[in-house]
Chain A
Amino acid sequence: DTGVSQDPRHKITKRGQNVTFRCDPISEHNRLYWYRQTLGQGPEFLTYFQNEAQLEKSRLLSDRFSAERPKGSFSTLEIQRTEQGDSAMYLCASSFLPGGASEQFFGPGTRLTVL
């Protein structure tokens, strides 16, 4: 499968624990996005990388959230001291174009449940 992959697919954790999610984009894609989707809502933008540079973070991304894309390939999203409100589907998407808007390819998501 050459699509975007995410790991794990499901994560159940207790409040206060740290969790880390991984996203592997399509190999030639230089842009990587993280979105969060809660029940009954569409995905909401969290953060964006172009190659290894994190260029924008949403105000939704509190200090407990951190994302990296160290070599411009895979990315990790870490949530520290999880809260019940962090329960959601975390989606990763990637795209490639030298410039301009383009299709984003989504991964299957990581469903986080915070007890």
Chain B
Amino acid sequence: AQRVTQPEKLLSVFKGAPVELKCNYSYSGSPELFWYVQYSRQRLQLLLRHISRESIKGFTADLNKGETSFHLKKPFAQEEDSAMYYCAPQNSGGSNYKLTFGKGTLLTVNP
């Protein structure tokens, strides 16, 4: 069965500090990996996807297939990064590209 583990429910850092949100997955096949973010009172939206290898808002995510991890990192956190972050592998075969979400990590960046 597909499983996504985000071990930290809550993560609190100070502005300017590095931040790492962990994600480990157990998934059949070769999923595409995504991070979605939900800012306060906003809808869920894509932050970044592994396949594009982009850095979005200073965030990057490294896929480690051996450890089946896709941790999200930012070297210098900003207050506007405070949000709920979800790691989400996506089916990459067949026709159903459903997302399987972790339970999420609530990141708080303190001034």
Do A and B bind? Answer: yes
A residues at B contact (CB < 8 Å): 3, 31, 33, 35, 40-45, 48, 50, 55-56, 91, 93, 95, 100-109
For B103, give its contact among A31, A35, A40, A104 (CB under 8 Å).
A40
Minimal beta-carbon separation of A38 from chain B (angstroms): 10
For A101, give its contact among B9, B97, B101 (CB under 8 Å).
B97
Residue contacts A-B, CB under 8 angstroms, 10 given = A43-B44, A43-B101, A45-B99, A45-B100, A48-B96, A50-B95, A55-B96, A56-B96, A104-B97, A106-B45
Q: Which residues of B contact A93 (CB under 8 A)?
A: 44
For window 64-111 of B, CB contacts with A under 8 Å fall at 86, 88, 90-92, 95-104
Whether A95 lies near B97 (C-beta < 8 A) is yes
Closest A residue by C-beta to B52: A103
Whether A41 lies near B92 (C-beta < 8 A) is no
Interface centre among A41, A43, A102, A107 (most CB of B within 10 A): A43
Whether A103 lies near B49 (C-beta < 8 A) is yes
Q: How far is the CA of A105 from the CA of B90 in the complex (A)?
A: 14
Whether A42 lies near B98 (C-beta < 8 A) is no
Whether B43 lies near A101 (C-beta < 8 A) is no
Q: Which residues of A contact B20 (CB under 8 A)?
A: none
Closest B residue by C-beta to A48: B96
Closest A residue by C-beta to B2: A45
Minimal beta-carbon separation of A107 from chain B (angstroms): 7
Q: Which residues of B contact A108 (CB under 8 A)?
A: 43
Q: Which residues of B contact A31 (CB under 8 A)?
A: 97
B46 beta carbon closer than 8 Å to chain A: yes
Whether A106 lies near B96 (C-beta < 8 A) is no
Q: How far is the CA of A41 from the CA of B102 in the complex (A)?
A: 8
Minimal beta-carbon separation of B88 from chain A (angstroms): 8
Q: How far is the CA of A93 from the CA of B97 in the complex (A)?
A: 11
Whether B43 lies near A109 (C-beta < 8 A) is yes
